[in-house]
């Protein structure tokens, strides 16, 4: 993975080989890590799960394992952060553009965003990483 | 010179993916010699803000009642179909 993105991710917010049955399980696991680091309020996990149900974040990349970028409103965020979850086998997220369609996801970036003007670089680095299959594969062994 | 157009960038929260898409489109259009006014909003705010925009670029589905042209922004997140989406935006800005 690109060095710049990894500089935004606290090693304590990375979970590898995650065994999860649902998207909610992954979100709650990673949200717990961001909460422990003081990035988000206790209300954050529920808020992300609720938002995912109506406005999902699965990104279809045309691969067997795709990416999801769950997040929620700034009011649940204390300071910016990213948690990274790499799953041992994919779980379904709904497609951001077409919520009726399921996207099998193997890599999850849980985002804590509270000031869009200050977090453009972080968001751009995530997008660059997602768009580079090589970088994404490398995220399995950060 | 024609009046500067306005693009409304929308996503679920109005802060995350719309920010990434706004920054990507702004840079790409600058490289094509085009500038525009940018606005960002939540998907739920699109209906009330659409009138003040010439074009909407959204990563989430937009209500069919909106009459302003809508370009899907997912291409800027996944990279798939990005050049085509940029061409579509350029064509709208040059109208």
Q: Domains in chain A, please, with CATH?
A: 3-136 (3.40.930.10)
Q: Where are chain B's structural domains?
A: 6-94
Question: In this predicted complex, what is the ipTM?
Answer: 0.87
Give the pLDDT confidence score for residue A141 in this predicted structure. Answer: 58
Minimal C-alpha gap between B18 and chain A (Å): 9
Smallest CA–CA distance from B25 into chain A, residue:
A124
- Rounded to whole angstroms, the Cα distance separating A37 from B15 reads 22
Give the pLDDT confidence score for residue B88 in this predicted structure. Answer: 97
pLDDT above 80: residue B29? yes
With b for 16 or more beta-carbon neighbours within 10 A and e for fewer, the B12-51 pattern comes to bbbbbbbbbbbbbbbebbeeeebebebbbbbbeebeebbe
- Rounded to whole angstroms, the Cα distance separating B28 from A82 reads 26
Give the pLDDT confidence score for residue A3 in this predicted structure. Answer: 60
Minimal C-alpha gap between A43 and chain B (Å): 16
Look at A113 and B13 and tell me if their CB atoms are within 8 Å. Answer: yes
Res. B64 pLDDT band, cuts 50 70 90: confident
pLDDT digits (tens, 9 = 90+) for A17-55: 999 999 999 999 999 999 999 999 999 999 999 999 999
Percent of chain B with pLDDT over 70: 98
pLDDT digits (tens, 9 = 90+) for A71-126: 999 999 999 999 999 999 999 999 999 999 999 999 999 999 988 777 888 888 88
Which chain A residues are Cβ-neighbours of B71 within 8 angstroms? Answer: none
Look at A123 and B23 and tell me if their CB atoms are within 8 Å. Answer: yes
pLDDT above 80: residue B68? yes
Which chain A residues are Cβ-neighbours of B56 within 8 angstroms? Answer: none
B6-94: CATH number: 3.40.50.2300
């Amino acid at each position: 993975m690109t060095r710049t993105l990894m500089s935004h991710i606290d090693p304590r917010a990375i979970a590898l080989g995650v065994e999860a049955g649902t998207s909610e399980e992954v979100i709650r696991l990673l949200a717990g890590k961001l909460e422990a680091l003081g990035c988000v309020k206790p209300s954050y996990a529920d808020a992300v799960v609720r938002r995912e149900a109506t406005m999902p974040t699965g990104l279809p990349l045309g691969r067997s394992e795709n990416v999801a970028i769950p997040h929620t409103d700034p009011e649940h965020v204390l300071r910016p952060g990213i948690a990274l979850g790499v799953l041992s086998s994919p779980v379904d997220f709904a497609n951001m553009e077409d919520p009726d369609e399921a996207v099998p996801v193997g890599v999850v970036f849980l985002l804590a965003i509270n000031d869009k003007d200050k977090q453009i670089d972080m968001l751009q680095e995530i997008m660059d990483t997602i768009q580079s299959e090589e970088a994404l594969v490398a995220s399995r062994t950060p | 010179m024609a009046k500067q157009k306005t693009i409304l960038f929308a996503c679920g929260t109005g802060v995350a993916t719309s920010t990434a898409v706004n920054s990507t489109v702004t840079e790409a259009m600058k490289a094509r010699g085009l500038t525009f006014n940018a606005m960002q909003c939540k998907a739920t705010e699109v209906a009330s803000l659409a009138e003040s925009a010439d074009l909407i670029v959204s990563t989430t589905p937009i209500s069919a009642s909106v009459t302003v042209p809508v370009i899907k922004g997912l291409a800027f997140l996944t990279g798939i179909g990005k050049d085509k989406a940029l061409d579509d935006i350029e064509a709208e800005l040059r109208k």
